[in-house]
Structure 1
């Protein structure tokens, strides 16, 4: 493409009223110039993403840090409500994504923000972008916090949980410190992975990350079953134990965790846009949700069963002591290494859509970011620096989950899809769509409000207890 034709194309790209202001990847730029290309990138040697690659990428988006906080939610809720809510959240997630896909097709939108813009104009597009940015930033900060916990250790309930580096090499102030280890991980592992301009380039690392999550679940289940056979584990409560008013309000703090665990809406369009056959996206979503729900239920059940009331907010921190089985120390290390590496591989998938939405918010009329190297790498460096500072400032993953889960995440996962269906600009909403949407919005708003109020209540109760 000549410079003159590119300039002319850019002018038409800026003016076209039907052109999405947030291109989800750079080959949408090609599709504007080459309208006969649908869903595949106009690059030599790339014929479109496969079904399996898309499943791995979407599953990796879902199974991130949320899995580590799920056993703690079972400690609050009990087994039966916990399993029920995990399955219910998966069903609502599938329904909300299906609505987004249908309305995207009707409006010819190629991003979450553009379908929100089709329904609610510039305001809707902007708010959806802000929500995705807050959600993804929160999640990526959580990932780095957990990676830091694995490598450098953490303090929980006044107890010191040692990190892998300290266990293996002893405490060396200059390179086993949390900040130094996170800096090295960022520079040598994460930075190369977030430099890819195509989400399908991450399909192999996504497959590996899903495999490592399964390794974590398998080892946890194996240790739990061995201890059950030995009779050293007692059955945990099936329902929550409400000993006082604070315990009741604390139940609602689990809602943002469960909501956050399934949020993948921001990556649905980037993955769909690269598919050889975009009509497979609905099956890809269902397959990914079934896989992830199975992993979530198994992790929550066996993790809570293994540690009981000693289950920490980040269950990974529990794997630093004697598990009561042979080769306990080795199993602890394998579990923490596998999940630490898993999160390093999940990071670029979530970062991909974060960068696109920040770019769409700041430069809504510019050419796609994949065609502007200076903007691409400058924005990548700024976002990564912000995430790094956040991971060294936020005290725990529970705090980060509660903030993002009770605000932006609920909006991305439930409020926006339901509002788009109720707005129904294209007259395609079914009676079922409207019925479930009227249930989802009040439920999401109520859950968010109660979760925030319960956090405030718990904060003041805790401070009052400390003063006493």
Structure 2
């Protein structure tokens, strides 16, 4: 006899018309399960905003520093090339998912490499997403409550406005942000429910670019900006050469979105639009990245810091408006990260659920479990545990950029390039072309070589001081 969970699942499905097809696939723990009746599928624009929000995160703040390391012209070229390579890797995922009828990235890798490959990918996504979310919260804390740098305390926005009060401390502000902003947003069971906050998030990223551009133009007009370095710096020794590889994790992390491609595609009215959605999103984000990198490096030159947001904490050289521009830039980016957070959290929760509660086939014992969105206790438990873990990490992790580079050179590179290329080379269903094979080999070689060099550079930097490239 069917058990109560099965009957409940069928009742919900009957009462929720026009749900995405993957709702009926009990073999895939990633099946989207919106509980709102009348949902007929996500729109093209909503999917573009959600995917663009997935892409544009903390990585945007480190892109001007990549131009500092690589030079203006090579840096901009590399940013565009990584965007093109990302689009190619996502296109591979979509095409091979259709061939294998996989409704999730993990199911695709599992189809090619079995349970071990599936688990390895899920672990990579979890490491990548947890690292990103911790970085987001740390930067939010830095913006609101300030941070310490080389023994000096830089005041946050709230401390500048209201002074140092008990409620302007880092832990209290992060707790309030968690309760008042994150908790409502991460409680949605459909990623499409975040389309409006995602649109606002993309708009706030544009605000940052516009404000940076305005300041740069003003300083160009009054002649207070020097010509930036267009070519890579002279590499006087091995350490200077190694420092170039610190840009690799930042560039890869800036475009990572593979973990949210399937959740977004599964909710579309017309899943065939996903390829166009990916291309549109990457074009939008590449434009934002190129503009941010160009104006940020042009504005601060060789004084550009690893986190360009930290440069907006002093006199910008535009008179009495400097303080206003500083606050607008910092607040807009802080709000942007708050709205990016739930989109990244969505795929984190799905992958942790897949690791802890793997789905079983319909004819297996025990009976197939309900999708997480239909199981409220499991949904609330995972949401609370993951949010608590990220909150603790944001309060106790001392350095964000070391962790940022490490996760970018390991988990992010694997999720973004190595796994898609490996699936194409495996070609379980015989759909790969010669171009797929060549591109896959190129991606694996580039990913492995750059990751090894980046990790070696991080280890080298832990024992020896890498020189500043001027």
2:296–2:308 CA contact under 8 A, matched in 1: yes
Structure 1 residue 199 corresponds to structure 2 residue 191: yes
Structure 1 residues 282 and 464 mapped into 2: Cα distance closer, same or farther (>3 Å)? closer
Matched, 1:377 2:377: no
Select between 430-439 and 245-254 the one with higher mean Cα deviation.
245-254
Q: 1:133 aligns with which of 106, 110, 126?
A: 126
In structure 2, the partner of 1:234 is 226
User: Residues 39 and 48 of structure 1 are in contact (CA less than 8 Å); yes or no, is this contact kept in structure 2?
Assistant: no
Cα deviation, 1:320-343, whole Å, max 9, x if unaligned, reads 111111411111111111110000
State whether residues 27 and 42 of structure 1, in contact with CA within 8 Å, keep that contact through their aligned partners in structure 2.
Answer: no
Deviations 1:164-210 (A, max 9, x none): 011101112x2111111111111111111001000000000000000
Alignment check: 8 A CA contact 2:61 2:309 kept:
yes
Residue 183 of structure 1 corresponds to: 175
Contact preservation (8 Å) 2:97, 2:103 = yes
The alpha carbon displacement at 1:236 in A equals 1.4
Aligned partner of 1:338 among 315, 332, 338: 332
Given that residues 221 and 302 in structure 1 are in contact (C-alpha distance below 8 angstroms), is that contact kept between their aligned partners in structure 2? yes
Consecutive unaligned residues in structure 1, runs of 5 or more: 11-25
Note closer, same or farther for the CA distance 1:382–1:222 as it changes in structure 2 (3 Å cut): same
Matches within 5 A, 1:59-208: 59-172=52-165, 174-208=166-200
**Counterpart of 1:299?**
292
Instruction: Using the TM superposition, name which of 423-432 and 394-403 deviates more.
Output: 394-403
User: 1:363-415 deviations in whole A, cap 9, x for unaligned?
Assistant: 00232110111111111111111111111222333212111101000000000
Alpha-carbon distance, 1:278 to partner: 0.4
Q: How many Å separate the matches in 1 of 2:293 and 2:8?
A: 55
1:389 maps to: 392
Instruction: Map Cα deviations across residues 295-320 of structure 1 (whole Å, 9 max, x no partner).
Output: 00111111111112222221111111
157-166 vs 179-188, which moves further: 157-166
Contact kept in structure 1, 2:65 and 2:305, CA below 8 Å: yes
Q: Structure 1 residues 192 and 346 mapped into 2: Cα distance closer, same or farther (>3 Å)?
A: same
Moved more, 139-148 or 71-80: 71-80
Q: CA deviation at 1:250?
A: 0.9
Contact 2:79 2:251 (C-alpha < 8 Å) held by counterparts: yes
Where does residue 219 of structure 1 map in the other structure? 211
Taking only aligned residues, the RMSD between alpha carbons, in angstroms, comes to: 2.1
Aligned counterpart, 2:48: 55
1:120/1:343 Cα in 2 relative to 1: closer, same or farther (>3 Å)?
same
Match of 2:358 among 337, 357, 364: 364
Q: Structure 2 vs 1, CA of residues 463 and 277 (structure 1 numbering), >3 Å: closer, same or farther?
A: closer
> 1:422 aligned to 418, 425, 433, which one?
425
- TM-score (structure 1 length as normaliser): 0.91
Alpha-carbon distance in 1 for matches of 2:238, 2:127: 31
Greater shift, 392-401 or 320-329, is seen at 392-401
Number of residue pairs matched by the alignment:
444
Given candidates 290, 297, 318, the residue that maps to 2:283 is 290
- Residue 251 in 1 paired to residue 244 in 2? yes
Q: Counterparts of 1:269 and 1:372 in 2: how far apart (Å)?
A: 21
Farther-moved stretch of structure 1 (158-167 vs 447-456): 158-167
Q: 1:268 to 1:123 in 2, by over 3 A?
A: same
Map 1:6-45 onto structure 2 (within 5 A): 6-7=6-7, 30-32=23-25, 43-45=36-38
List per-residue Cα deviations over 1:50-78 (Å, max 9, x = no partner). Answer: 00000000000000111011112211111
- Aligned to 2:358, the other structure's residue is in SS state coil
Which of the residues 254, 274, 280 maps onto 2:273?
A: 280
8 Å Cα contact 2:22/2:266 also seen in 1: no
CA shift for structure 1 position 7 = 5.0
Structure 1, 305-314 or 241-250: larger mean CA deviation: 241-250
Offset at 1:345?
0.3
Could you tell me whether the CA contact under 8 Å between 1:314 and 1:397 is conserved in 2? no
1:328 paired to 2:331: no
* Unaligned ranges ≥5, structure 2: 11-18, 360-368
1:209 aligns with 2:212: no
* Partner deviation per Cα, 1:68-94 (whole Å, 9 max, x = no partner): 111122111111121111111101100
CA distance in 2, matches of 1:331, 1:455: 34
Q: Is the 8 A contact 1:41 1:274 kept in 2?
A: no
Is the CA contact (8 Å cut-off) linking 2:64 and 2:292 kept in structure 1? yes
Contact conserved, 1:145 with 1:396, CA < 8 A, in 2?
no
Which has the larger displacement, 48-57 or 158-167? 158-167
**Alpha-carbon separation, structure 2, partners of 1:8 and 1:182:** 38
1:43: how far off?
4.5
* Partner-residue secondary structure (3-state), 2:396: coil
CA distance 1:32–1:116, change in 2 (3 Å): closer
- The aligned residue for residue 17 of structure 1 is none
